Amino acid sequence: MRSTFVLAPIAFLSACAISRPEFVEPKWGNAPAPLPSEVTEITWELRTCSSNCRDEEVVLRRDGRASRAYKTRRKLDSLFVARIDSASFAALADLIVRRGFFAGSDGDGAHEPLATKSLVMSVATLCRRRASAVFVDIPRSITGPQPQTAVDSVARRLSWTRCCRID
């Protein structure tokens, strides 16, 4: 009986130490673009570096949740939450799909390592995510503003509330 009490914690601790590998979403590859109604999340992450790097990350979700996080050297400084109405999210998803966000290679979804300012956008469906590094100062084209401009515009119109105590 005593050996059972000794073996149980050891088995429990070893189960915690052996973890499953992290799930990696499949790359978009040459799959066709999703329907706008299949888009579940839109993420916009701006990194600005001078003596240290500061990140601003906006996440908009189809279920109406939105978050905006500010980080310095990857440490969370502040977090805000908001609600996005379904019509605004649907219009934004439609614009992103129509502007060809899902065209191109999958390997360009990371911040430029030596850039003083870089922007990465990602759009997810239930099973895939497409990320793309975007030039920050892209001028408006003949067809109108680029998708990152629309995401920023929608995010600026939301009513953000400070969330959570950050230590």
The pLDDT of residue 13 is 45
Q: Where are the domains of the chain?
A: 2-163
Q: What is the pTM for the complete model shown?
A: 0.75
Give the H/E segment covering residue 91: helix 86-98
Phi, psi of 138 (to 5 degrees): -75, 125
The string of pLDDT tens digits covering residues 14-68 is 444 455 566 666 777 788 889 999 999 999 898 888 888 899 999 999 999 999 9
Q: Identify residue 114 by its one-letter amino acid code.
A: L
Q: Each residue of 67-102: pLDDT tens digit? A: 999 999 878 999 999 999 999 999 999 999 988 888
CATH number for the domain running over 2-163: 3.30.1560
Q: How confident is the model over 133-157, as pLDDT tens digits?
A: 876 554 444 444 467 788 888 999 9
The sign of the CA dihedral 38, 125, 134, 116 is positive
